[in-house]
């Protein structure tokens, strides 16, 4: 680094000497070039001012006419221009970075808020899915229970109907047998009375015959009713 500074100082002296010889119309490019080299080395305005003072001492301009001193001042201003511009650029960059940081901070806050909303949405959706799943399971269970109850009800209805059918048939057979036996006994008794009436009054015989016909007719009616009841 020291060697580079010495090199820059020597070039500075040479460029300043040439500038003084060329006068006010001389090109600014050599001074600007030296300023860009100073920027590349990381030098500030104060560092360049020291190099400028050494150049003035080397060229013995302290006791020179005012014209040379003025030209030397212009040369220094030109050489310092890249450093000043670099400062301005740095300031602009810093301001830009500051704005970027502020924008980044806002975006970070917005992102955090969006993330919180997203998390709440995820939680709500999860709760809704769990609720829907629970309702689905409850509905499935209710449907299965309903189908099972319907099945049991059909089985119970079938058993009741079968029991009723068996009971009707049993009653029908019992009624048929009992009435038939009763009527048959009456008929036998009437036959016996009819035979006895042969030696008795004719009127009694006629009454017994009529009664016998009525009993037979009743027996036929009972059999018909029993058959119809049994077929239900």
Q: Are 41 and 11 in contact (CB under 8 A)?
A: no
Predicted TM-score (pTM) above 0.85: no
DSSP 175-229: HHHHHHHHHHHHHHHHHHHHHHGGGS-HHHHHHHHHHHHHHHHHHHHHHHHHHHH
Percent of the residues in the chain that have a pLDDT greater than 90, as a whole number: 2
| pLDDT tens-digit map of 112-144 | 788 788 888 888 888 888 876 777 777 788 788
Domain ranges of the chain: 2-105, 168-230
Q: What share of the chain is helix, strand, coil (3-state, %, to 5)?
A: 90, 0, 10
- If we measure between CA atoms, which residue out of 62, 38, 58 comes closest to residue 48? 38
Residues 6+ apart with CB under 8 A from 47: 38
Label residue 86 by pLDDT band (50, 70, 90): confident
């Amino acid at each position: 680094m020291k060697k580079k500074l010495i090199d820059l100082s020597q070039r500075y002296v040479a460029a300043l000497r040439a500038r003084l010889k060329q006068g006010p119309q001389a090109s600014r490019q050599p001074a600007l070039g030296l300023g860009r080299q100073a920027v590349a080395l990381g030098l500030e305005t104060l560092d360049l001012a020291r190099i400028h003072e050494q150049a003035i001492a080397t060229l013995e301009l302290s006791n020179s006419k005012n014209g040379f001193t003025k030209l030397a001042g212009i040369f220094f201003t030109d050489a310092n221009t890249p450093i000043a511009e670099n400062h301005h650029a740095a300031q602009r960059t810093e301001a830009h970075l500051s704005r970027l940081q502020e924008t980044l901070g806002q975006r970070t806050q917005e992102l955090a808020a969006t993330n919180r909303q997203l998390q709440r949405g995820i939680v709500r959706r999860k709760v809704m899915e769990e609720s829907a799943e629970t309702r689905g399971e409850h509905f499935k269970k209710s449907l299965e229970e309903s189908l099972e109850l319907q099945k049991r009800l059909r089985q119970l209805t079938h058993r009741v109907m079968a029991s009723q059918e068996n009971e009707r048939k049993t009653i029908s057979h019992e009624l048929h047998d009992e009435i038939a036996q009763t009527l048959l006994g009456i008929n036998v008794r009437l036959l016996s009375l009819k035979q006895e009436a042969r030696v008795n009054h004719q009127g009694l015989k006629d009454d017994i015959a009529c009664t016998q016909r009525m009993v037979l007719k009743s027996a036929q009616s009972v059999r018909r009713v029993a058959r119809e009841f049994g077929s239900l």
